[in-house]
Structure 1
Amino acid sequence: MATSVYTINKGINRPIEFKGLKAQYIAYLAVGLVALLLLFTALFLAGVPLPVCLPLILLAGGGLFAGTYHLNRTYGQYGLLKRLARRRLPACVRLTSRNVFLSLTQPAASHDRAC
């Protein structure tokens, strides 16, 4: 009986990698699979016939795998998090008063000195 050996990259300062997925995409896939399991259970307990439930869950699972691998290839380890963070930045900052700047008492260079 042949056994499969899956290597998990645990190098220092390197992301965890499993079957090509890196970093947070492993967690996204795991959460998605648990959600699909719960959806299958809910549909089955609701009385939806098995020939309807099974193809629906298999198609959703295939979409989950394809989508997760696509995000992994497109954005890499931190790219998706950077994109989501960039979307939260405001387009512009408006100040109607100079009081914010007038209340500053120390110049910025004085903070760089070592004590």
Structure 2
Amino acid sequence: MSSVYQINKGINRAITFKGLKAQYIGYLAGGLVGLLVLFAILYIAGLNTYVCLFLIAGLGTGLVSTVFRLSHKYGQYGLLKKTAKHGLPRCLKFRSRKLFINLKKVDDGRYSK
């Protein structure tokens, strides 16, 4: 007796939505929630409705275009790699050789303190 199973061809692929990849979907969603909160604050503060709409529409357009540009430029992991690269030091300075002199070789060929 044979059964028919459907194969999910999206396994181990990045989540995409309308061209956005991976974490950029979250960035866009967070930005839109922030714009909604900003609109509510401005409206409750008494700012003219049309001014609020114009401001939020402009900021929303900038947000969407920026997120799409970053998604297409860096891809799924590129922006994370770029931010991680900024955390690396340019050089390492040692004032003494004591750290290197006291190293001992471990069984797997590495060195340990």
**TM score, norm. by length of structure 1:** 0.84
Counterpart-to-counterpart distance in 1, 2:29 and 2:78: 20
Q: Tell me, what secondary structure is at the counterpart of 1:111?
A: coil
Q: Does 1:97 align with 2:74?
A: no
Between the aligned residues of both structures, percent identity stands at 53
2:108 pairs, out of 101, 108, 111, with 111
Equivalent residue number for residue 82 of structure 1:
81
Equivalent residue number for residue 13 of structure 2:
14
Shift of 1:105: 1.3
- My pick for the range that moved more, 70-79 or 98-107, is 98-107
Aligned residues: 102
Shift of 1:10: 7.4
Extract unaligned runs of 5+ from structure 2: 1-7
Amino acid at match of 1:111: D
Counterpart-to-counterpart distance in 1, 2:86 and 2:105: 33
Equivalent residue number for residue 53 of structure 2:
54
Counterpart mapping for 1:60-75 below 5 A? 60-75=59-74
Q: Does 1:40 align with 2:39?
A: yes
Extract unaligned runs of 5+ from structure 1: 1-8
Runs of at least 4 residues off by over 2 Å: none
For the Cα contact (< 8 Å) 1:10–1:16, is it kept in 2? Answer: no
Counterpart-to-counterpart distance in 1, 2:55 and 2:69: 21
Counterpart-to-counterpart distance in 2, 1:106 and 1:80: 37
Amino acid at match of 2:35: L
Equivalent residue number for residue 4 of structure 2:
none
